[in-house]
Amino acid sequence: MQVAAYATQGATEPLKPFEITRRNLQPDDVLIDITHCGICHSDIHAARNEWGRSRYPFVPGHEIVGRVREIGPKVTKHKVGDLVGVGCLVDACLKCPACHDGDEQYCEKGSVGTYGGTEPVIGGPTFGGYSKQIVVRDEFVLKISEKLDPAAAAPLLCAGITSWSPLKHWGVKKGDKVGVIGLGGLGHMGIKFAVAMGADVVMITTSPEKGEDARRLGVKDVLVSTDRAQMKSHLGSFNFLLNTVPVKHDLNPYLGLLARNGTMVIVGAIEPLEPMHGGLLLANRRRVAGSGIGGIAETQEMLDFCAEHGIVCDIEMINMKDVNPAYDRVVKGEVKYRFVIDMATL
Amino acid sequence: MQVAAYATQGATEPLKPFEITRRNLQPDDVLIDITHCGICHSDIHAARNEWGRSRYPFVPGHEIVGRVREIGPKVTKHKVGDLVGVGCLVDACLKCPACHDGDEQYCEKGSVGTYGGTEPVIGGPTFGGYSKQIVVRDEFVLKISEKLDPAAAAPLLCAGITSWSPLKHWGVKKGDKVGVIGLGGLGHMGIKFAVAMGADVVMITTSPEKGEDARRLGVKDVLVSTDRAQMKSHLGSFNFLLNTVPVKHDLNPYLGLLARNGTMVIVGAIEPLEPMHGGLLLANRRRVAGSGIGGIAETQEMLDFCAEHGIVCDIEMINMKDVNPAYDRVVKGEVKYRFVIDMATL
């Protein structure tokens, strides 16, 4: 089937209207009319081939919300008219130990990314959510509560789950002292989740001016990481740090903040980091871990938690044609905290 | 009380006979006639002030075995004649949350090291086990089974517990694939413990010639980390890696070996490490942690496990007067795998 989309034809090309071919509805497929799609920083990295593995034409978007238009005969999870979401994954083997454990993102056969993956039915690259419609395997479609604003729910599908998954995986609980490093798309969701889980949340930032907004999001304290006295006063006190810094940086000052058995989870920086000091790890038996997006069941759990707690992302809606300048603003950190494309404008 | 010991008077001085003053027996103290003391690489770092915080005269030694000669009136754990051990700690507050959890090594008030700490009763530096006798608070004295060779049991008090603690803390169990990186004092104990726990143990080394000895210790396979094809064949397969490399090194090749949710624990290198690649952490949700020695209860647990499984260290006995050349051999890695001083020769 032919579907309208916005695509880029190369690393230095702007995004513009483009007709894409999606697979026809398979027996276990769901056809979704996309109403909203968030803009993730990964979209930009991939569109601009900053990770060196992009294929063109390239259609970004993995924070997708829409309504089910049609279902295949074997679809059991969703029905026509449902409000649904699609995140970073559209397929996986569902048979390996990782899939069995609900870690489809770590599927041992390789999961299929929503964009830039290999389309399992018709071949070629998978195309993301900057598009009127998408066809996705039943199991990879999430239910979204009608209680949630569909536009503001869209970024839950990546920014949300990426910050939710490590908080849950590492058992963050009521009364824990949790630091969220960096206040962007992921960071602001990390704050909302950790606050809702009952943790005592501290925003850790190099930008004191972000403090006011962080307090609005529910943090108990703001720690300016360039202020040595402030950092010293929090030494060895955090049970958990969610590190959303998206670029190479020095982990050592943050390591020193961790209490005994404390964990810092890196969700943003995927390049080589500054040298880490082994002694800081040995002291207090600290841990540094990575975490990438999340599995399907935990994404559903997160969406249900959001419906229960009235949590969505703070967003700025844009029209499809404004995506290119929006990209530049994301790169400059000029969005609070996520752009969402109104797909009616495509 | 005056006690015979071997001490160094400065970073570049050899060790030689020296009379030290120890506190007199306090009500909850145990006076131990030391029969054996292991040589830990830390002894050398500290004697030579390579960590920049040594005080002189300096008496090394925190792998101490001996017999109880006398006890104070409030001592409850030990009696005269018992075979006992003393490790890296001789005191802690025993009241803080860390002590409460059996993590005296992370005591929030600061634990007292067996050497180079601050003597809590008479002041000055604590003196280690290269000595005829030591006076230690009841709670910090460990029981050693008469089933164990006391000489070969001595290094259990540091090399043993340092490799045991992370294996237990991270729940290594039967059937896990465990890699031990580096075959020295810690590594050879890590292999013995992990094998006894039922893990499938692989020795990871840059020195293929160490393979034969590793197989004798019970490993199922030897992985030469400089062999790219071998490394590739083990990618993403380890549940746990015990990294005993004692110097700055590149973690990234080892990170790639970790399976989903796999953990690498660093017990040796306390300096800045080579830059770690964030993407390798995110992939497979890997973890890197540190671990330093162990608490008193888990040290006792380890010693009891050793008695049950007939585990001791592989040692080379030396006379006290040969300690200086032994140090040079340790630095060159020329010992399998621990020197132990026969204290009868002091």
- Kindly indicate the confidence band of residue B258, based on its pLDDT and cuts at 50, 70 and 90: very high
- Are A215 and A201 a contacting pair, CB within 8 Å? no
Q: Is A50 on the interface with B (CB under 8 A)?
A: no
Q: Is A96 on the interface with B (CB under 8 A)?
A: no
Contact A290 B283 (CB under 8 A): yes
pLDDT for A273: 86
Q: Residue A308 contacts by C-beta under 8 Å, 6 or more apart in sequence?
A: none
Let me know the angle formed at the C-alpha of A201 by A196 and A202, rounded to the nearest 5 degrees: 150
Nearest chain A residue to B269, by CA: A278
Q: Which two tokens stand for residue A131?
A: 């598009």
Nearest chain B residue to A97, by CA: B260
The nearest CA of chain A is from the CA of B234 a distance in Å of 14
pLDDT for B247: 84
Helices and strands of chain A, counted as H and E runs: 11, 17
Can the peptide bond before residue B115 be classed as cis, meaning omega within 30 degrees of 0?
A: no
DSSP secondary structure, B42-76, as one string: HHHHHHTTTTS---SSB-----EEEEEEEE-TT--
Of B98, B272, B275, the CB nearest to A272: B275
Contacts of A289 in chain B (CB under 8 A): 281, 285-288
Mean pLDDT calculated for residue range B219-244: 97
- Are A165 and B285 a contacting pair, CB within 8 Å? no
Contacts of B286 in chain A (CB under 8 A): 289-290
Ordered alpha helix ranges (H), chain B: 41-47, 97-100, 150-153, 159-169, 185-196, 211-216, 228-233, 252-255, 278-282, 296-309, 323-331
Q: Is A247 on the interface with B (CB under 8 A)?
A: no
Alpha-carbon span A81 to A85, nearest angstrom: 12
Q: Is A269 on the interface with B (CB under 8 A)?
A: yes
Q: Rounded to the nearest 10 degrees, how much is the dihedral formed by the CA atoms of B307, B303, B166, B268?
A: -110
DSSP secondary structure, A127-177, as one string: --SSBSEEEEEGGGPEE--TTS-HHHHGGGGTHHHHHHHHHHHTT--TT-E
Share of chain B above pLDDT 90, in %: 94
Per residue in A222-255, pLDDT (tens digit) is 999 999 999 999 999 999 999 999 888 899 999 9
Of A269, A285, A290, the CB nearest to B285: A290
Per residue in A39-95, pLDDT (tens digit) is 999 999 999 999 889 999 999 999 999 999 999 999 999 999 999 999 999 999 999
Of A169, A280, A290, the CB nearest to B281: A290
Q: Is B50 on the interface with A (CB under 8 A)?
A: no
Nearest chain A residue to B247, by CA: A278
Which residue, among B252, B276, B286, would best test binding to A if mutated, counting the most A CBs under 10 Å from its CB?
Answer: B276
Q: Is A284 on the interface with B (CB under 8 A)?
A: yes
With tokens 């002292």, the residue in question is: A177
Alpha-carbon span B341 to B320, nearest angstrom: 6
- Kindly indicate the confidence band of residue B51, based on its pLDDT and cuts at 50, 70 and 90: confident
Which residue, among B161, B169, B242, B281, would best test binding to A if mutated, counting the most A CBs under 10 Å from its CB?
Answer: B281
Find the largest Cα–Cα distance for chain A.
Answer: 63
Distances (CA, A) of B67 to A2, A198, B31, B140, B195: 85, 52, 9, 14, 30
Q: Which two tokens stand for residue A43?
A: 């979209």
- For residue B157, pLDDT over 80 is answered with yes
Mean pLDDT calculated for residue range A326-344: 95
Q: Is B293 on the interface with A (CB under 8 A)?
A: no
Can the peptide bond before residue A14 be classed as cis, meaning omega within 30 degrees of 0?
A: no
Mean pLDDT calculated for residue range B21-38: 98
Mean pLDDT calculated for residue range B136-144: 98
- Kindly indicate the confidence band of residue A206, based on its pLDDT and cuts at 50, 70 and 90: very high
The nearest CA of chain A is from the CA of B278 a distance in Å of 4
The nearest CA of chain B is from the CA of A82 a distance in Å of 32
Contacts of A277 in chain B (CB under 8 A): 270-273
With tokens 């900053």, the residue in question is: A50
The nearest CA of chain B is from the CA of A258 a distance in Å of 12
Q: B36: closest CA among B88, B90, B86, B70?
A: B86
Distances (CA, A) of B16 to B6, B127, B197, B314: 5, 14, 41, 26
Per residue in B88-121, pLDDT (tens digit) is 999 999 999 999 999 999 999 999 999 999 999 9
pLDDT for B254: 96
- Say if strands B177-181 and B200-205 run parallel, antiparallel, or are unpaired: parallel
Alpha-carbon span B38 to B17, nearest angstrom: 17
Per residue in B162-214, pLDDT (tens digit) is 999 999 999 999 999 999 999 999 999 999 999 999 999 999 999 999 999 99
- Kindly indicate the confidence band of residue A158, based on its pLDDT and cuts at 50, 70 and 90: very high
Nearest chain A residue to B263, by CA: A289
pLDDT for B270: 77
Mean pLDDT calculated for residue range A194-218: 96
Of B279, B283, B292, the CB nearest to A285: B292
Mean pLDDT calculated for residue range B65-69: 98
Is the alpha carbon torsion for B198, B202, B207, B210 positive or negative? Answer: positive
Contacts of A260 in chain B (CB under 8 A): 97-98, 103, 106
Q: Is A144 on the interface with B (CB under 8 A)?
A: no
Q: Which two tokens stand for residue B218?
A: 């019970």
Decide: helix, strand or coil at residue A195. Answer: helix
- For residue A35, pLDDT over 80 is answered with yes
Q: Is B25 on the interface with A (CB under 8 A)?
A: no
Q: What ipTM did this prediction achieve?
A: 0.93
pLDDT for A160: 98
Q: Is A92 on the interface with B (CB under 8 A)?
A: no
Alpha-carbon span A222 to A209, nearest angstrom: 10
pLDDT for A268: 87
The nearest CA of chain B is from the CA of A234 a distance in Å of 14
The nearest CA of chain A is from the CA of B344 a distance in Å of 35
Rounded to the nearest integer, the mean pLDDT of chain A is 96
- Angle, in degrees to the nearest 10, between helices B159-169 and B296-309: 100
Q: B119: closest CA among B57, B193, B164?
A: B57
Of A169, A269, A279, the CB nearest to B271: A279
Alpha-carbon span A191 to A211, nearest angstrom: 12
Of A266, A276, A289, the CB nearest to B273: A276
pLDDT for B162: 97
Q: Which helix (H) or strand (E) holds A319?
A: strand A315-319
DSSP secondary structure, B167-201, as one string: HHHTT--TT-EEEEE--SHHHHHHHHHHHHTT-EE
Q: Is A169 on the interface with B (CB under 8 A)?
A: yes
Number of A to B CB contacts under 8 A, please give it: 117
Q: Which two tokens stand for residue A222?
A: 């703001």
Contacts of B168 in chain A (CB under 8 A): none
10 Å Cβ neighbour count for A56? 15
Q: Residue A227 contacts by C-beta under 8 Å, 6 or more apart in sequence?
A: none
Q: Which two tokens stand for residue B64?
A: 């101490």
Per residue in A89-137, pLDDT (tens digit) is 999 999 999 999 999 999 999 999 999 999 999 999 999 999 999 999 9
Alpha-carbon span B87 to B47, nearest angstrom: 17
Of A169, A272, A286, the CB nearest to B289: A286
The nearest CA of chain B is from the CA of A260 a distance in Å of 7
Which residue, among B237, B260, B266, would best test binding to A if mutated, counting the most A CBs under 10 Å from its CB?
Answer: B260
End-to-end CA distance of chain B: 17
Q: Which domains does chain A show, CATH number per domain? A: 2-158+312-345 (3.90.180.10), 160-290 (3.40.50.720)
Per residue in B264-280, pLDDT (tens digit) is 999 988 788 888 998 99
Residue B295 buriedness (CB in 10 A; 0-12 / 13-18 / 19+)? buried
Nearest chain B residue to A244, by CA: B278
pLDDT for A270: 77
Mean pLDDT calculated for residue range B226-243: 97
pLDDT for A105: 97
Contacts of A269 in chain B (CB under 8 A): 278
pLDDT for A271: 80
Of B106, B282, B284, the CB nearest to A285: B106
pLDDT for B248: 86
Of B103, B272, B292, the CB nearest to A282: B292
pLDDT for A68: 98
pLDDT for B194: 98
- Kindly indicate the confidence band of residue B290, based on its pLDDT and cuts at 50, 70 and 90: very high
pLDDT for A272: 84
Contact A292 B282 (CB under 8 A): yes
pLDDT for B18: 97
